[in-house]
Amino acid sequence: MFGFKKRRRKKWSSQPFPPDWLAFVEKNVPYYRYLTPAERAELQRHIQVFLHEKRFEGCEGIIITDEIRVTIAAQACLLLLHRKTDYFPLMKTIFVYPQAYFASTARRLPGGLVQEDVQTRLGESWQRGPIVLAWDDVLKGARDPDDGHNVVFHEFAHQLDSEYGKMDGAPQLPKSTMYTAWARVLSQEYITLLDALETGHRHLISAYGATDPAEFFAVVTELFFEKPLALKSRHPELYEQFRLFYQQDPAARRQKP
């Protein structure tokens, strides 16, 4: 079974990358220009496998086009460069809304009461389930690779986080010896963020990252790729842990002419 999947993926990834797909990537995902030629070729291979294996469904009347599929796939697969990957194996479907959508939530209160609410969302990632994205925010985040906000990076980081366990900010690391440093650095940085918010001090990491360790991991992933020089300068140990995990060095990319 695994041999068949490997052969199938090799077949898909060895096909010529369609010119119109490349045009979508170059237009909508300017982060692509930071990559080396070898990384661009690797990304194209990942995109082809991703699009063969994942299903896209439009919501609220949006028609799924190749532009939508390729733009989302290119950003998701940026997280996979240089890493052994099974292409987000627990996620099979991506639901796409034209814009921010409403989602019902329920929270259990003391005494057994349940509080129901409706939230406006730009994206969400279900553990062992689908991803939901708002297309206008996908496009906005993709076309500005320097603002520190990217809903695709965020939601697919959650998938990496939960790939081999709970969605808790502790993804599977390349080496077992890395867990001690990972736990120490991320715990310290998370506490520092909480303290900054409590005392009213500004912090590079947004307040949403203080929601819980899972959101901290996803928010820092956005910064790692989109504001790497600032993250490395202000939080060098945190940057190093993410560099080891993603096996990429976005700060070095930004320093190249």
- pLDDT tens digits for 6-41? 899 899 999 999 999 999 999 999 999 999 999 999
pTM for the whole structure: 0.91
> For the chain, what is the HEC assignment?
CHHHHHHHHHHHHCCCCCHHHHHHHHHHCHHHHHCCHHHHHHHHHHHHHHHHHCEEEECCCCCCCHHHHHHHHHHHHHCCCCCCCCCCCCCCEEEEECCCEEEEEEEECCCCCEEEEEEEECEEECCCCCEEEEHHHHHHHHHCCCCCCCHHHHHHHHHHHHCCCCCCCCCCCCCHHHHHHHHHHHHHHHHHHHHHHHHCCCCCCCHHHHCCHHHHHHHHHHHHHHCHHHHHHHCHHHHHHHHHHHCCCHHHHHHCC
pLDDT at 121: 64
Residue 72 scores a pLDDT above 80: yes
Residue 109 scores a pLDDT above 80: no
pLDDT, mean of residues 169-173: 91
Domain annotation for the chain: domains and CATH numbers: 1-162 (1.10.472.150), 168-257 (3.40.390.10)
| Tokens of residue 186, six digits | 């991320």
